[in-house]
Amino acid sequence: MNGKSERRKRRLTVPREQIAWYPVIDPELCNSCSSCYDFCPKEVFASGPVEEGLRRRPKMQVANPYRCIVLCSACERECAAGAISFPPREEFEQFVEYLD
């Protein structure tokens, strides 16, 4: 071992498009910081439409939900505003099998 935690390989049990696992952004809580966009390697997030009024930066939106890795919720912890949420993990564990 080299000190890094080993990740187990995973495989989906159904096509990705049939699994509704992806983040939801609460627009009332989103502060447009773009931390989710900067963090996510799968390009799930994008800037939303520009709003009229005093806002300078658009709020973030989930632009590519099915690029999200099933059971990954790391962006939720990255969001300092607490605007990102996921469905209950237990409901989606059946869609992932671990390979040895």
Reported as a single tens digit per residue, the pLDDT across 17-70 is 999 999 999 999 999 999 999 999 999 999 998 877 655 788 999 999 999 999
Give the domain extent around 41. Answer: 26-88
Whether 75 contacts 39, CB under 8 Å: yes
Domain count, the chain: 1
Q: Which neighbouring-strand residues pair with 45?
A: 62
pLDDT of residue 96: 95
pTM of the entire predicted model? 0.85
Q: Is residue 98 part of a domain?
A: no
The CATH number given to whatever domain includes residue 48 is: 3.30.70.20
| Domain-located, residue 81 | yes
70 in a structural domain: yes
- Report which of 25, 6, 16 is spatially closest to residue 70, judged by C-alpha positions: 16
Q: Is residue 82 part of a domain?
A: yes
Has residue 97 been placed in a domain?
Answer: no
